Amino acid sequence: MKKEVLLLGSTGSIGTQTLDVLKAHADRFSLLGLSCRSDVETLYRQANEWKPKFVAAEAPIDETRLPAGTVAFSGMDAAVKIAEAADADVTVLAISGYAALLPLLAAIRHGKRIAIANKESLVCGGALVDAALKAYGAALLPIDSEQSAIFQCLQNGGRDEVKRLILTASGGPFFRKTREELKNVSLDDALNHPTWRMGRKITLDSATLMNKGLEIIEASRLFQFDADHISVLIHPQSIVHSMVEYRDGTIMANLSKPDMRLPIQYALTYPARAESVCRPLSLDLEHPLEFYPADLDRFRAIRMAYDALRSDGVMPTVYNGANERAAELYFAGNIGFADIENCVEAALNTIENRPADSVEAIAAADAAARYAVDRFVKMLNR
Ligand code: MG
C-alpha cells in the first residue's frame, strides 16, 4: 500500500524538493493534497501534474484551472481546512513562519505522522503542541537538517546517557565580519548563503543567526532537553549537520552533502532508509572540516534565544514574532540588517511573560511582539 502524503507549503523551497523526493519514490508514496499561500500559478501547475484530491491556498483559487473533481479550499484558514479534510498517512509541514501553528495542530488531530520543516510553530506552540501530540498519538519527524541529524544521532544511546546536543551552524555569509561591518551589508549579501539554497526568510535568518536561535528552541521542543543540554558550534562547511555527545565522551555526528532532499526523504521513510536522489558525500574531497566556538556576545540572536527558552512561556513566541516582523521590515527596506536583532531585543525587553497555555495567549504574544517592533522602528526613524 502506498502512503498518502499531504504537502502543506508545496510551492516553496522545501515543498518543491518534497515533490522531487515523492517523484523518485512513486512506488512508496502518492500525493493526496497540496497547499500554498499565494503562488497559485505554481499550485495550478503542480495540481495538473500530480492530480491530488485536495488543494488549498490563502489566495483565491480559480477552480477551472484545476483538474475536474479536485476539492479546493481558499481563504485565511485554507491550510487548516485541508489538514482537517485530508486524513493523510504523512503530512509534510513546509509552510513558512508562525502561520503554520494552526495547520500543525489540525494535522496532529489525525494522530498520524507529521514530517515537519517549520520551526516557528514548535517554537511558539511549546507545551500546547506537546500536549496535543500526546493526546492524539501523532508523531513528529523533523525535516530541518540539524534536527534530523540529532534525531538520528539520538538513536545510539539512552536519553539519560546524553550529555548534550550540539547544533552546528554555518555562521551564514557574515561569519567573518565585525559588528561594525554588519551595518553596511546589502540585501543581496544577506541572501547569498555560502552552503544552502533556501527560501528568502530562512536565508535571512541564517545571516542574522536568528535561524540558529530558533533551532535551539526547536531542538528543546522536539527532543525535550533544556537549554543547558543544547550547545552551538560554528561549522562553515555544513557537512556535519549536528551531533550528540554521550556521557562517556563519545560524539555521534551526522554527515552528508547539504541537500534538504535527504532529511525530507528520511522523515518520510523512517525507520527505513531508501536510495536517494542526492549526490553522495566524498569525504576525501571535503577537507578541511572546520569548527569554531559560537561567541554569544558576537551572536546576540543566539544569546537571546537561550534567554527566551529559559524564560519559556510566551517569550519564544515574542522572539519569533519580533523576528518575523523585523524580517518583513528589512525586506521592505525600512530597517537595516543590524537593526533586526535590535528589534527582537526591544520586543523581548518590553513584553511581559505569561503562560503559553492557549492558542489565544500565543496569538496575543505574537501580535504584541510585532507591535513592539513597529513602535521601536518608529522611534528609530524619528
Ligand atoms: Mg536548519
**How far is ligand 1, taken at its centre, from the CA of residue 374, in Å?**
28
Mean pLDDT by 10 residues, the chain (382 residues): 97 97 98 98 98 98 98 98 97 96 98 97 96 98 98 97 97 83 84 82 92 98 98 96 98 97 98 95 89 88 98 98 97 94 98 97 98 96 83
Rounded alpha-carbon distances, angstroms, from residue 317 to 246, 298, 335: 31, 23, 22
* Per-residue pLDDT at 195: 79
**How far is ligand 1, taken at its centre, from the CA of residue 93, in Å?**
14
**How far is ligand 1, taken at its centre, from the CA of residue 70, in Å?**
34
Structural domains in the chain plus CATH codes: 3-142 (3.40.50.720), 144-259+278-309 (no CATH), 312-382 (1.10.1740.10)
Strands (E), the chain: 3-8, 29-36, 54-57, 71-74, 90-93, 113-116, 139-142, 162-169, 230-234, 240-246, 251-255, 292-293
pLDDT in tens, 89-123: 999 999 999 999 999 999 999 999 999 999 999 99
Q: Which residues surround ligand 1, an ion (CB under 5 A)?
A: 144-146
**How far is ligand 1, taken at its centre, from the CA of residue 273, in Å?**
21
**How far is ligand 1, taken at its centre, from the CA of residue 22, in Å?**
21
As a whole number of angstroms, the distance between CA 89 and CA 273 comes to 18
* Per-residue pLDDT at 230: 98
**How far is ligand 1, taken at its centre, from the CA of residue 193, in Å?**
13
The answer to whether the CB of 150 falls within 8 A of the CB of 165 is: yes
As a whole number of angstroms, the distance between CA 380 and CA 372 comes to 12
Rounded alpha-carbon distances, angstroms, from residue 237 to 142, 233, 250: 21, 12, 22
As a whole number of angstroms, the distance between CA 334 and CA 381 comes to 9
* Per-residue pLDDT at 30: 98
Residue whose entry in the numeric block shows the C-alpha cell 558576537: 298
**How far is ligand 1, taken at its centre, from the CA of residue 240, in Å?**
12
As a whole number of angstroms, the distance between CA 63 and CA 73 comes to 10
**How far is ligand 1, taken at its centre, from the CA of residue 215, in Å?**
7
* Per-residue pLDDT at 177: 83
Rounded alpha-carbon distances, angstroms, from residue 159 to 12, 105, 146, 246, 310: 35, 26, 18, 9, 20
As a whole number of angstroms, the distance between CA 335 and CA 142 comes to 33
- The x, y and z cell numbers of residue 354, run together, are 505569561
Own/partner pairs, 375-379, CB within 8 angstroms, 24+ separation = 376/342, 376/343, 376/346, 376/347, 377/329, 377/334, 377/335, 377/339, 377/343
Question: What is the full DSSP assignment across 57-81?
Answer: ESS---GGGSPTT-EEEESTTHHHH
**How far is ligand 1, taken at its centre, from the CA of residue 143, in Å?**
8
* Per-residue pLDDT at 86: 96
